[in-house]
Amino acid sequence: MTDAVREITYRDAVREAIREALLADPRVFLMGEDVGRYGGCYAVTKGLLDEFGPERIRDTPLSESAFVGAGIGAALGGMRPIVEIMTVNFSLLALDQIVNNAATIRHMSGGQFAVPLVIRMATGAGRQLAAQHSHSLEGWYAHIPGLKVVTPATLEDARFMLAAALSDPNPVLIFEHVMLYNRSGVLPPDPRPVDIQSATVRRAGQHLTLITYGGTLFKTLDAAEALAKEGIEAEVIDLRVLRPLDAEVPIPYPHHLEEAALPQPAAIVAAAKATMGG
């Protein structure tokens, strides 16, 4: 908790969140490419190696499958790893670990094993990094049962979502838009805890609703301001949490549960009749 309103960048808000987590829990450690001596590709982790040492801030080889897999193993072993993937396109090299292991282990073990893993990734375009490094793949991951996918856009979310993510027994993917790192603003003196369960209204409006998340939030707020000058009051909703949005689950093995998890004709008919008011 801070004593007064203060100016801070999104980058520094993320760094403060990581530092707070490292100080609060000896099980927490950070690992990824260039997170230590270099201070992170976007300078988010600058200075943390000097403060916490190489046991807590671990530079990894250039092998996403290896260090994401190591993070899963560490989480299963009782640690609270924060894995940084430099940019989201590199996460494709660890899809097997993320989708087939982290997302499914708790379900397939009947809840006996949890995977309290946090994976941070830089996402989005706007820095002229071309087709190789401008992906926005959070929508892909939002379709994977067993994962939680969050997209902090505001300083408050960047600063306080990490604590909620680390306390979750499920793997949480945090997507940080590259165009937000330099954005600055003020943190309130008495910030409230940020959940990773729900969307939030960023602007009230009565004529239409604009739904957004991540790097497009502030563009959408600017658009709403322009609309207001023309007499159109737009509500702006920041999704923040792309998953879970519904009750999808990893497909179960027993036949009756598999049937229940998949759309069936009777359920489709019932939904259609409900839509028609029947």
Active site residues: 64, 133
- Give Dmax over CA atoms of the chain in angstroms: 66
Q: How far is residue 41 from each of residues 13, 34, 160, 232, 255, measured CA to CA in Å?
A: 16, 7, 22, 41, 47
Which residues make Cβ contacts (< 8 Å) with residue 275, sequence separation at least 6? none
Q: How far apart are the first and last CA of the chain?
A: 53
Which residues make Cβ contacts (< 8 Å) with residue 160, sequence separation at least 6? 17, 191, 193, 194
Closest CA to 218 of 192, 182, 165: 182
Q: How far is residue 201 from each of residues 48, 61, 159, 160, measured CA to CA in Å?
A: 34, 41, 19, 18
Chain centroid to CA 105 = 19
Which residues make Cβ contacts (< 8 Å) with residue 134, sequence separation at least 6? 124, 125, 126, 127
55: three-class secondary structure by DSSP: coil
